[in-house]
Structure formats: C-alpha cells, structure tokens
C-alpha cells in the first residue's frame, strides 16, 4: 500500500484526504445525533435536519483546504499540525453555527454541535496520525531486511532540538548503521533525563568515561547554533576519546526545520571556524538591488561568483557578468542557470577591465544601476615579480570602472578591497590601497555613491591556504607553512559577500567599510586541524614544514591603520574607517605617471614608484578644513 501511495501526486493525495474527511464529517455528525437522542427518534430527527449533512461536509472541506490541511507532509506531523487541525475544525464549526443562526436551523440543539466538534477533531486528527503510524510501521518492516548486523554504538552530542530530531530520525530508519546509546550535553540541568527513552549521560567533560563504559565508536555533533570555538572544543574531546565524529549542518543550513540522516556529514574546516550567522537588513538591500541592473566584474572569481548567486535572490532586472577568463565565466553562468530567475535576466560578457573601450561599450549598452567591482589579481608572492601586470589590472582596471560608473550615472559602485592594503609591504596590497584612494577621489565630485569594502582571507577561495593544504595532503605532504607565528583573518565566502551587499545599502559616498573578521587564526593551527579532520596524525602520517616568509608576505595583517579611527554603523559587523588627508591632485597625478610607466614597460622603476605613491596616502588625519 505504501509503495502505491508514493506513486500518487500531491493533488491525488489531497483528494483522498478530502474524501476521508467528508466521511468523517458525516460520521461524527450522525454520532452526535446518536449520543443526544434515543435510537427510535433518530429517523425523525435526521429527516428534519437532513439538509444539514451536505452543508457540514462542504463547510468542513472548504475550511480545511483554506487552512492548509491538504498541503502538509503528514509523515512529519507533530503537535504544530494537530493544533492546525483543532483550529480548522473549530473555525468550520463556528461557520456552521453562524449558518444555523441565520437560517431555519435556529432550533438545532447546540449540544450536538459540541459533540460533533469533539468527535471531528478526534477523527480528522486520528486519520492523519494513523496514516503516519501505518506508514512508519510498513516502512520499518520493509527496512528490517536491510538492517546492518553490526550497528555502531553512537552518542549524540547536544540534547537540544537538533539532537532530538537526529535521534528521532535514526530510530525511525532501521537501516541506519547507528545504534544510538544516548546523549551528552553541557547543560547540566538535562543530566539524567530521557529523550525518546535515551538517557542524557552527562557533559562533554564526561565523554571519555562514557565512551569506555558503553564502548561508543562514533559521535554525532548536533549543535547547529554552536560557534567555531564550541565546535573546535567538541571535536577535540572526540579526538581524545578516539571517536569518529559526524556533524549536523549549521543553523542557517537547516532550512526546513528538520535534520535528516542524509544531512549528517564529516566535520569540515569551516565548522571549526564557524561564526554566528550574519543578519542582514533584507529590505534595505532589496531597495537598491531588486528591479535594478547589476554589473559584477570578476564575476567568475570566488567573491564574484558568490556575489552573483546572492544578488539573484533579490530579483534584479538584469545581472551582467563581466569576466576575462572564459572557463570561469562559463562555470558561473552554468551555475546561475540552475537558480530560478523569475523575470531576472543574466548576461555573461567576456571582457577585460583594463580595456577602456570595451568597458565603455558595455556601460553604454547596459547602463548598470549598481556595480560590484571584484576583478583583481590577488596572489601576493606572484605579483611581486609581475608588478606591471598587477598595477595595470588592479589600478587601471579600477580607474576605468570608477570613471565609467560616474560617466553613466550609476547609483552605487562598491569596490572589493583587502586587509593587505593597510600598512602594505607588497605590490598587490599597494595596488589595492591605490584603488581605495581612486575611489575616494572619484566620490568627491560625483552623484554616484562610491564605497570600498575591506576584509581578510576568504575561507576556501581559489588560491587560498585551505585548498593548498588539501592538495598537499592528497599528495602525501608535507603541509608547507611559511612561519610558526604567521596569522591571518578568515571569513566564509557566504558571510563576506552578505556583508559586502549590505554595505551598498549603508554607503553615502566615499566610505571605506571594514568587516569584523573576528580574531586572527594561526596558519599552523589551521594546518593541524586539516590533518586531524583528514584522519591523519601530524608527525606520524604527515609532516608540517616551515618554508619561510614568501616575497611581500607579513607575519600578520591589519584591517585598519588605527583602532581609534573606526566608526560604527547600524550593522554591528560593519565599521567605517576615518578618511586620511593626502594631496589628491598630486596623488592622482602620480598614479597617472605610474600607469604610463607600466604601459611603457619600464620595469626597473615600477615597484619603487608604486610604493612611493602609496606612501603619500598613508595616515595623516583629515582636518576639518580639508
């Protein structure tokens, strides 16, 4: 029967429920008469009020349908759905009572309606619970043949809602390899209690003793709201007890309120760095993106592609993808085709931001309302030996985009910057600092709202340290770290882009926004985490090798020149740096000389000239008269 039901469409299942509810309506009303009147009087009563039976059926079905009782997935029914049944039956009974009051049925006995109301709740709710129980029973019987002979003793870490859902799902699916022994939770008030007849055995501090006593082999970490520090501590406790650990998704990943068995996965490095979910002001973002023409440069890069994905959720009129790498453009265009677009149009364009004529052609034909400029070279050591190219791509490319945004009267233009622009010692960071300077110069006399967003390393982006470490592990090691004390700021791509889009709604013109990156992380700690998460042991299975700082690399990065120069915004994770005074005409003139120098390929003086221009833009606080 269950296999037959699974072949039915949603509308077919709804019609079956409507038929069953109609029978329930007739049965409960007749039962109300039967309980109220002697059996010999029933024929006369039914003859007199017989017209009410089809009316009750019609009112019940219409009310149930409008209350959504035919769109629920009843195999996941809970108290919430039963409350919906009570509300729907009560509402339909009130409608019936109102109809009786307004018609010749004023003399209808109210006690029959009360009995009918009670019985109908029991019947309608009972049918749905019965269908779920029958489905679970048949499903479990069917799964018995596939039940693993040797289940793995497993403990669930976290006795909250997520832990309860995991336990319920695993107990329901008999083919699961997990034999749930119980829970641990750091909330001491839960100790000794039972969830689905499984005990809360203690806290994570008791984990090693519990593991030994019950011969536990695996742990499921069900703490979706836990931050990176919490997850790191729990994983460390599991490793001390030689437990293989799985994890439920983070809170923002659980979109339907369920934690299913197929959502369990191995602990990833971003779980250990997990940060609280970024809250954005959706309405303010929608105001400047929805229905607008949005242009993203570097659309196929790590930041650019995530920008495109998130922008699509705000229904722009058109999303223009500008990218000079054919493969990257193809991949992001392919990915966006899988996203429901509605009325949004996606236009992929191969173009190089250094080519002013080509970019002018794009701006003229598309006249974008909002520009996110993320196209840039970013590899620090590589750019130290390619000064000419990083200056032309980053500085000239940005200059072209900024000027065209002004010329074609775009409403917003957001520049993606980096922490390497602060107190820079390398060419890549120096070019990004000049991009910030060009943005501030352009913003001075423009109606376009220009801004820059400065943040650190993005976890898992192309060319970042995490993919490098994974490749080195696949090759058998060693993992190369430049210095034992080197630190970096890290943020997930999703979080960084969410905040970048938010800054567009906050800018008034000329601001450099700084994202709260949290605390810096030692790269060597990151390497050790990845080794452990790969099931390996440092020094035994794979080594860490210190190779020395690379050209242009610093031990630590900074997000701002001085903490006192930061100003808060309405968003707690976004700050604004105070602007610094510099001779704008002189700096602008020097940048033109630098660009001319690079186009003429006078390589011997390019780096010195670049650094000398940047030096003129270093902190010298703006005076009120400037």
Q: How far is Cα of residue 247 from the mean position of the Cα atoms in its chain? A: 16
Separation CA 108–CA 99 (nearest Å)? 11
Helix orientation angle between 302-312 and 326-337, rounded to the nearest 10 degrees: 20
Separation CA 557–CA 421 (nearest Å)? 9
| pLDDT value at residue 107 | 65
Separation CA 464–CA 429 (nearest Å)? 16
Beta bridge partner(s), residue 184: 157
| pLDDT value at residue 623 | 39
| pLDDT value at residue 624 | 38
Q: How far is Cα of residue 67 from the mean position of the Cα atoms in its chain? A: 31
Separation CA 434–CA 431 (nearest Å)? 5
Separation CA 579–CA 572 (nearest Å)? 20
Average pLDDT along the chain, 626 residues, taken 10 residues at a time: 57 82 88 80 73 85 84 60 85 85 70 87 84 65 54 90 84 76 90 86 91 91 82 87 82 50 69 67 89 96 94 94 96 91 91 97 97 94 92 96 96 94 91 95 93 85 79 88 88 87 91 84 87 81 89 78 74 81 86 88 80 84 39
CA angle 554, 591, 624 (to 5 degrees): 85
Beta bridge partner(s), residue 153: 179
Which candidate, 398, 407, 468, 411, places its Cα nearest to that of 440?
398
Question: Could you tell me if 170 and 176 are in contact, meaning their C-beta atoms sit under 8 angstroms apart?
Answer: yes
Q: What is the DSSP string of 147-165?
A: --SSPEEEEEE--SHHHHH
What is the total residue count of the chain? 626
| pLDDT value at residue 14 | 80
Q: Which value, to the nearest 10 degrees, does the dihedral of the CA atoms of residues 488, 494, 497, 498 take?
A: -120
| pLDDT value at residue 474 | 85
**Lookup result for tokens 């390899």:** 177
Separation CA 233–CA 227 (nearest Å)? 10
- Six token digits for residue 231: 């997850």
| pLDDT value at residue 622 | 43
| pLDDT value at residue 373 | 97
Active-site residue list: 420
Which candidate, 567, 448, 443, 455, places its Cα nearest to that of 500?
455
Separation CA 593–CA 610 (nearest Å)? 10
| pLDDT value at residue 256 | 44
CA angle 163, 167, 172 (to 5 degrees): 150
Separation CA 623–CA 626 (nearest Å)? 5
pTM for this model (two decimals): 0.67
Question: Could you tell me if 369 and 411 are in contact, meaning their C-beta atoms sit under 8 angstroms apart?
Answer: yes
Name residues whose C-beta falls within 8 Å of residue 323's C-beta, 6 or more positions apart in sequence. Answer: 297, 298, 299, 300, 301, 304, 329, 332, 348, 349, 350, 351, 375
Residue 491, exposed/middle/buried by CB under 10 A (0-12, 13-18, 19+)? buried
Question: Could you tell me if 297 and 374 are in contact, meaning their C-beta atoms sit under 8 angstroms apart?
Answer: yes
Which candidate, 464, 394, 398, places its Cα nearest to that of 424?
394
* DSSP 8-state code for residue 244: E
Name residues whose C-beta falls within 8 Å of residue 1's C-beta, 6 or more positions apart in sequence. Answer: 134, 138
Strands 178-184 and 244-247, by their bridges, are: unpaired
Mind listing the domains of the chain with CATH numbers? 2-144 (no CATH), 152-272 (3.40.50.720), 291-456+499-519+560-615 (3.40.50.720)
Residue 201, exposed/middle/buried by CB under 10 A (0-12, 13-18, 19+)? buried
Please report how many Cα atoms fall inside a 13 Å half-sphere around the Cα of residue 7, on the Cβ side. 3
Name residues whose C-beta falls within 8 Å of residue 564's C-beta, 6 or more positions apart in sequence. Answer: none
Helices (H), 516-583: 523-533
Question: Could you tell me if 420 and 428 are in contact, meaning their C-beta atoms sit under 8 angstroms apart?
Answer: yes
- Six token digits for residue 102: 């307004």
- Six token digits for residue 466: 């995490």
């Amino acid at each position: 029967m269950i296999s037959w039901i699974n072949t039915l469409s949603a509308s077919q299942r709804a019609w079956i429920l409507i038929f069953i509810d109609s029978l329930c309506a007739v049965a409960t009303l007749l039962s109300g008469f039967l309980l109220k009147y002697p059996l010999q009087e029933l024929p006369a009563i039914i003859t007199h009020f017989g017209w009410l039976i089809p009316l009750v059926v019609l009112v019940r079905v219409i009310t149930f349908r409008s209350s959504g009782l035919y769109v629920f997935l009843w195999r996941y029914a809970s108290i919430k759905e039963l409350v919906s049944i009570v509300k729907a039956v009560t509402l339909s009974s009130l409608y019936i009572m109102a109809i009786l009051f307004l018609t010749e049925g004023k003399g209808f006995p109210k006690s029959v309606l009360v009995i009918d109301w009670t019985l109908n709740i029991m019947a309608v709710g009972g049918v749905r619970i019965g269908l779920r129980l029958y489905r679970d029973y048949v499903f479990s019987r069917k799964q018995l043949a596939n039940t693993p002979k040797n289940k793995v003793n497993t403990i669930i870490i976290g006795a909250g809602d997520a832990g309860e859902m995991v336990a319920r799902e695993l107990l329901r699916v008999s083919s699961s390899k997990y034999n749930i022994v119980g829970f641990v939770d750091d909330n001491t008030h839960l100790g000794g209690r039972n969830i689905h007849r499984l005990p809360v055995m203690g806290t994570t501090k008791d984990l090693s003793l519990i593991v030994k006593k019950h011969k536990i082999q695996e742990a499921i970490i069900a703490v979706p709201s836990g931050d990176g520090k919490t997850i790191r501590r729990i994983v460390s406790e599991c490793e001390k007890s030689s437990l293989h650990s799985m994890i439920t998704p983070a809170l923002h990943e659980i979109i339907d309120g369920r934690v299913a068995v197929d959502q369990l996965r191995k602990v990833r490095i971003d779980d250990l760095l997990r940060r609280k979910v970024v809250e954005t002001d959706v309405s303010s973002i929608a105001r400047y993106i929805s229905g607008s023409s949005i242009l993203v440069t570097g659309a196929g890069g790590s930041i650019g592609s995530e920008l495109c994905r998130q922008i699509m959720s705000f229904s722009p009129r058109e999303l223009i993808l500008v990218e000079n790498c054919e493969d990257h453009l193809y991949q992001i265009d392919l990915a966006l085709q899988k996203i429901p677009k509605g009325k949004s149009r996606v236009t992929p364009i191969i173009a190089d931001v250094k080519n002013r004529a080509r970019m002018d052609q794009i701006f003229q034909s598309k006249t974008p309302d909002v520009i996110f400029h993320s196209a840039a070279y970013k590899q620090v050591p590589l750019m130290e030996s390619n000064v000419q190219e990083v200056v032309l791509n980053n500085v000239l490319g940005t200059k072209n985009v900024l000027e065209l945004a002004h010329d074609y009267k775009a409403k917003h233009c957001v520049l993606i910057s980096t922490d390497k622009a602060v107190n820079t010692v390398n060419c890549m960071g120096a070019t990004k600092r000049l991009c910030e300077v060009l943005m501030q110069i352009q913003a001075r006399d423009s109606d376009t709202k220009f801004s820059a967003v400065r943040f650190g390393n993005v976890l898992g982006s192309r060319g970042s340290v995490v993919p490098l470490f994974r490749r080195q592990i696949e090759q058998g090691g060693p993992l190369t770290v430049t210095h034992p004390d080197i630190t970096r700021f890290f943020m997930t791509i999703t979080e960084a882009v969410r905040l970048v889009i938010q800054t567009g709604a906050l800018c008034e013109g000329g601001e450099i926004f700084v994202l709260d990156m949290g605390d810096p992380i030692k790269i060597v700690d990151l390497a050790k985490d990845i080794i452990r998460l790969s099931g390996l042991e440092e020094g035994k299975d794979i080594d860490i090798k210190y190779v020395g700082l690379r050209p242009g690399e610093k031990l630590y990065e900074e997000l701002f020149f001085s903490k006192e120069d930061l100003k808060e915004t309405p968003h707690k994770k976004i700050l604004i740096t105070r602007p610094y005074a510099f001779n704008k005409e002189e700096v602008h003139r020097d940048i033109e000389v630098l660009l001319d120098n690079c186009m003429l390929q006078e390589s011997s003086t390019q780096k010195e000239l670049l650094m000398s221009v940047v030096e003129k833009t270093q902190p010298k606080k703006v005076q009120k008269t400037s």
